């Protein structure tokens, strides 16, 4: 798997888990969901995401 596929998997997992936590624990978890969404939106414009840098340092191929 390449960086883009890992990024989508991680972002989707974060959104899913934070939505579950918001439903069953505290609605404040939706702030984390919003953070992930904003990060995805800015990466669409800049083609840079902190998670992509982290994954590349881990050796995930482009």
| Lookup: tokens for 58 | 């881990």
- Give, rounded to a whole angstrom, the gap between the first and last alpha carbons of the chain: 9
Low-confidence ranges of the chain (pLDDT < 50): none
pLDDT of residue 46: 94
pTM to 2 decimal places: 0.88
pLDDT of residue 11: 96
Q: Which residue has the tokens 């995930």?
A: 60
Predicted confidence at residue 50, as pLDDT, reads 92
């Amino acid at each position: 798997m390449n960086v883009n596929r890992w990024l989508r998997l991680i972002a989707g997992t974060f959104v899913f888990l934070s939505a579950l936590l918001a439903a069953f624990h505290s609605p404040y978890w939706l702030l984390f969901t919003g953070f992930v969404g904003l990060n995805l939106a800015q990466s669409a414009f800049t083609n840079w995401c902190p998670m992509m840098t982290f994954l590349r340092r881990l050796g995930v191929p482009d």
